[in-house]
Amino acid sequence: MSDLFFYGTLRYLPLLETVLGRSASQLNIAEASLPDHAVYGVQRQAFPMIVQEKDSKASGLLVRGFGQEDLNRLAYYEGGFDFDLSVRDVCLADGSRAEASVFFPEPGLWQPGALWSLQDWVDEWAEVTLLAAQEELAYYGRLDATTVSRNFAPIRTRAWAKLAARKRRAGDPRDTMKDVIVKEHRRAYLSYFGMEEIELRHRQHDGTMGPLLHRSGLMQGAAVVVLPYDPVRDAVLLVEQFRTPVFLIEDPEPWMWEPVAGMIDPGETPEQAAHREALEEAQVKLSSLECVGGAYSSSGSSTEYIHLYVGLSDLNQTIDNGGLTSEGEDIRTQILPYDTFMQRVDNNEFKDLPLLALANWLARNRDRLRR
């Protein structure tokens, strides 16, 4: 049996329960602290790190009596964060001391930011972290920790998209808790995208429950698509990049002309993502955004929800080296006069559906934007 001291996100009991796969009521938990240490947020990350700091005190929880299965699950989860276990003496509230293992980051791996607050983290990041942990731990015993950690970023992106989906306005009087019956739900595949399989019945339009259906869904995050438009020059900017799925279907032209597009990162609004992606992909600064709407890109197969925008900008240059090298992007841009752009739309020269939707919106609103 082992005792562990938690100073960071695992002090949040719903997360600890998810990682362990059992209720916190079964655990022996006590308030404790680690002397001469302090907890700081990691720069540009949503989790904390512990550092040695004389005369400081890192508050946390001492959890006693972990079995080997508990330790295996904790190592599986924490393995994605590059932590190692080290034994330390911790202080309890009654003044006694106890020996416990503590997760310490690899020296020099991260840079500390501001002092970390559990409550601030709960308010901002607990929901998305919990959803991400649920997906990660679903692969415990099926995939190794390295594979899961390699896909940690897209897992969190999907979790952020799920939170946004839950908050969308529901005008339909039907209740999924009553009108959809799930027999089995399985996370079948994990990579940059996920694949989930489900067996369910749903209420039909005549009021009866339908037959058992076996379906699957490509699990993706939410995305932004923004068409830069210069109302003074009356021109749009498009980006071109290689699209692997188009190549896989053996289309002879997998280099696609599209609007600027990208996934919404955890913590971002769609508008923030639109501005960021315009700079990353096209080196274009948008002065303002016109909201075109939002929709699922292919509701029969994918969870991807797209936020559509036309972004007003001063379009005066093109590039041949846009995008992030770290993400394998190789992007060039072109600026098209509006009339040329619409002629190419009418000639069916573009194969990107969001681009066609934005072209139609621009055609209806161009005069207003130019005024």
Please write the tens of the pLDDT for every residue from 246-268: 999 999 999 999 999 999 999 99
Question: What CA dihedral angle connects 248, 252, 255 and 258, to 10 degrees?
Answer: -90
In a shared domain, residues 93 and 205? no
> Is 277 known as a binding-site position?
yes
pLDDT number for residue 100: 93
In a shared domain, residues 232 and 340? yes
pLDDT number for residue 170: 74
In a shared domain, residues 228 and 358? yes
In a shared domain, residues 277 and 184? no
pLDDT under 50 in the chain at which residues? none
Question: What are the tens digits of pLDDT across the range 317-362?
Answer: 999 988 888 888 899 999 999 999 999 999 999 999 999 999 999 9
**CATH number, position 25:** 3.10.490.10
pLDDT number for residue 303: 97
pTM of the predicted protein model:
0.92
In a shared domain, residues 359 and 235? yes
pLDDT number for residue 232: 98
In a shared domain, residues 251 and 321? yes
pLDDT number for residue 80: 67
pLDDT number for residue 273: 98
In a shared domain, residues 58 and 192? no
Q: Residue 295 corresponds to which amino acid? A: A
Instruction: Map residue 150 onto helix, strand or coil.
Output: helix
pLDDT number for residue 173: 86
In a shared domain, residues 203 and 277? no
pLDDT number for residue 169: 78
pLDDT number for residue 86: 86
Sign for the CA dihedral angle at 131, 133, 136, 137 comes to: negative
Distance CA 323, CA 234 (A): 25
**CATH number, position 354:** 3.90.79.10
Neighbours of 173 (CB within 10 A): 6
Residue 321 CB partners (closer than 8 Å, separation 6+): 330, 331, 332
> Which range of residues forms the domain containing residue 280?
223-370
pLDDT number for residue 108: 84
In a shared domain, residues 136 and 160? no
Q: What is the CA radius of gyration of the chain?
A: 25
In a shared domain, residues 123 and 184? no
In a shared domain, residues 61 and 145? yes
> Is 133 known as a binding-site position?
no
In a shared domain, residues 321 and 343? yes
Q: Based on the structure, what is the number of domains in the chain?
A: 3
> Is 99 known as a binding-site position?
no
Q: Do the beta carbons of residue 311 and residue 229 sit within 8 Å?
A: yes
> Is 127 known as a binding-site position?
no
Could you say which of 129, 150, 171 is where a domain stops? 150
